[in-house]
Amino acid sequence: MTSIHEYIQQAKLDDDKAFCAFLYDMRALTRHVQHRVSSLPEKCRMFYAIKANSDTPILQALSSIVHGFEVASIGEIRKVRAISADIPILFGGPGKTDEEIHEAIEQKISLLHVESLHELRRASYIAKQKGAILPILLRVNLHSPLPEATLAMGGRPTQFGIDERNIGEAIKLAVALEGVRLEGFHLHSLSNNLDAFQHAQLVKNYCQKVKEWVEEFNLTISYLNAGGGIGVNYQQLDQQFNWELFIDQLKPVLASHQLGDIDIIFECGRYLTAGCGYYAAEVLDIKQNHGKNYVIIKGGTHHFRLPVSWQHSHPFEIIHMDQWNNPFARIELTDSEITIAGQLCTPKDVLAKDCRVARVRIGDIVLFRYTGAYGWAISHHDFLSHPHPDHFYIGTLDETAAGLKKELIAFNE
């Protein structure tokens, strides 16, 4: 952490222009993911859902740690294949085109997640044309109640997966079709679940369901994909998902279900990359309007849309920059409530609202934390045509701030 501060201080000394950047602590990223992968029980695999952040250096860093990548478009398949010719790819998402399925087969994906009966027929037809047999998982939208989470993709009406009521028909069709081989089931149902105990119970329910289908239809399958959906607590940073509890709960669940040769796949996005990312933006102006304090930063929700998308105040801290070279007064607030807004011409461009700070001055830098997932990746970068932020992938944070520059992995969008 300190080193992120030092890095920013140094970058500011090197170049006095108003600061705005995403910074990624690559060592924290690899340490975090390595620990998660190595503590998984036997027969479990961790894939990374790249839509959370598909920046090349992130994919490169994770490619040697995770078992593979989960993708949701041909563009994402190409990004993965650009860094590895053979890393396993799981291809999901509603509304795949014929061209995407064609190229996915050519790019040697490991599994296609089939989202409807029509897609099942289409995938088989395309695979047959190419003389291939495509390994698939059927994505199921379950009817059983799910734990509370920020977003729910299943357990309620959504565009995702095959309704559990139709799963018998889908299984029979998948078994009968010549172009596909049914390898199992995909059950990604929610996002941002913070409760480790409930997450293990969710996997338990999945195991129960899959066991029932295997027995009822006399299937031999290889995978149960339990999806992603492990959350990040953006409101209380010291109360994150309890991974150790999750693993403790998961072990007996897997032992008692005797799933035999079935591997459990997790395909996490947010939980793997959120914590390594920072979005840092310089304070350009401070003013009062209708009795409220506004802090305007260089940047905004066109770079980092998550807080406006979720309607939350994103956690931040202030990095104090002591330099002030102007011949006029520097505006500052102490012990005040502030609203942090960006450069866009819309009142929705707010990243944090009515938050108390000890001190903030024009020229200080606001450092938002947990921005490594669904940050830059989901934002409308070119709205208003402001310049893009810098992207720094910081290698080894042991070194001094001066030395850090050398560790930078150059990255041009």
* Contact residues: ligand PLP, CB under 6 A: 49, 51-52, 70, 72, 92, 188, 191, 227-230, 267-271
Point out the catalytic residue in the list 20, 276, 345, 355. 345
Q: How far is CA 357 from the centre of its chain?
A: 29
Q: In the structure encoding, which two tokens stand for residue 295, read together?
A: 């802090």
| Backbone angles phi and psi of 401, in degrees to 5 | -60, -35
Tell me whether residue 276 is one of the annotated catalytic residues.
no
How far apart are the C-alpha atoms of 322 and 210, rounded to whole Å? 60
For the chain, the first-to-last Cα distance in angstroms comes to 26
Q: In the structure encoding, which two tokens stand for residue 66, read together?
A: 């995770």
Nearer to ligand PLP, 132 or 378 (CB): 378
DSSP E strands in 34-192: the ranges are: 44-49, 68-71, 89-91, 111-114, 134-141, 151-152, 162-163, 180-186, 190-191
Shortest Å distance, C-beta 229 to ligand PLP: 5
Shortest Å distance, C-beta 294 to ligand PLP: 32
Shortest Å distance, C-beta 20 to ligand PLP: 25
Residue type, 293: N
Shortest Å distance, C-beta 215 to ligand PLP: 26
How far apart are the C-alpha atoms of 353 and 249, rounded to whole Å? 38
Nearer to ligand PLP, 194 or 319 (CB): 194
∠112-230-252 over CA atoms, to 5°? 90
Shortest Å distance, C-beta 62 to ligand PLP: 13
**Number of Cβ within a 10 Å radius of residue 254:** 19
**Gyration radius from the chain CA atoms:** 23
Nearer to ligand PLP, 22 or 48 (CB): 48
Shortest Å distance, C-beta 374 to ligand PLP: 7
Nearer to ligand PLP, 25 or 267 (CB): 267
Q: What residues have CB less than 8 Å from 154, skipping those under 6 apart?
A: 140, 141, 142, 146, 160, 161, 187, 188, 189, 190
Nearer to ligand PLP, 284 or 378 (CB): 378
Nearer to ligand PLP, 119 or 267 (CB): 267
How far apart are the C-alpha atoms of 35 and 44, rounded to whole Å? 14
Q: Which residues are catalytic?
A: 345
